[in-house]
Amino acid sequence: MAQLVRLRGYSDYATVHALQRALVEARSRGTTPDTVLLLEHSPVITVGRTRGAEQNVLDAGGTPVVRVERGGDVTWHGPGQLVAYPIIKLEGRRADLHLHLRSLEDAVIDLLVDLGLEPGRDARNTGVWLPDGEGPPRKVCSVGIACRRWVSWHGLALNVEPDLRDGFGRINPCGFDTSVMTTLAEHLEPVPAVDELVEALGRHLADRLDVEVDGMMTTTAEALLASL
174 catalytic residue (yes or no):
yes
Q: What is the DSSP string of 106-166?
A: HHHHHHHHHTT---EEETTEEEEEEEETTEEEEEEEEEEEEEETTEEEEEEEEESS--HHH
Neighbours of 22 (CB within 10 A): 17
Neighbours of 8 (CB within 10 A): 12
Pure H helices in the chain: 13-29, 97-114, 164-167, 194-208, 221-227
Catalytic residue, chosen from 4, 84, 104, 174, is 174
Q: Is the dihedral of CA 57, 59, 63, 64 positive or negative?
A: positive
Which positions are catalytic? 174
